[in-house]
Amino acid sequence: MVRTRYVIAGLLGIPLLDATFLVFVAGAIGGIETVLLVVLTGLIGMLLVRAEGRHTLRKLQRTVAEGEPPTDELLDGAFLIAAGAFLLTPGLVTDTLGFLFALSPSRVVFRELLSRYVVTPYLDERTDGFLSGNVYVGGFPNDAPGGTDSDAGGSTRTVFGDDDGFGSGGATDDGDDDTVDIGEDEYSVE
């Protein structure tokens, strides 16, 4: 997950970078020209976001009508909202970020990165790996596939092997009639 300190650094660093770049550009082309450039990039960007938003909404409606989950379209919508916020913020760095979020080819890259490094790990954590299929399905983690296994106390137990017809990967009881050892836990049979 994204660490809070990186978010705070970004929230503080982007306006600082934007103000520094505006001073540099104003020194190069002039103050009034810089203001006109910022206003022009904001207006063009908002028209682009509006057009891309309509296109994304049509794609979302078509995807839902086909009965498929509109995950890509929803992520595109989130990027377009962020693009609109960046383009409304006066500055050339934020306008550049807004254009990157608004343009469809760069959104595909951002969507893939967001899906791979933020959405999938979050959903895997919440579903214990069932979303991506990273679920441990190999039986009991500490057991051998057949034969005997020793626990920390030195007692030996028989694990299900091919000779007993149960397959591999389980544990039988260690001699007591009322408990079954599975890993470090003991379960009573009543």
pLDDT in tens, 130-166: 777 776 666 655 655 554 444 555 555 444 444 444 4
- What is the pLDDT of the chain when averaged over all its residues? 78
Token pair in block for residue 89: 């913020």
> What pLDDT digit, counting tens, does each position of 63-91 carry?
999 999 898 899 999 999 999 999 988 88
Length of the chain equals 190
Residue type, 81: I
Interacting residues of 131 by C-beta distance below 8 A, sequence separation 6+: 120, 123, 124
pLDDT score of 167 more than 50: no
How many DSSP H helices and E strands does the chain contain? 6, 4
Instruction: Give percent above pLDDT 90 in the chain.
Output: 43
Evaluated on CA atoms 109, 111, 114, 120, the torsion sign reads negative
Residue with tokens 């660093």: 13
Burial of 123 (0-12, 13-18, 19+ CB in 10 A): middle
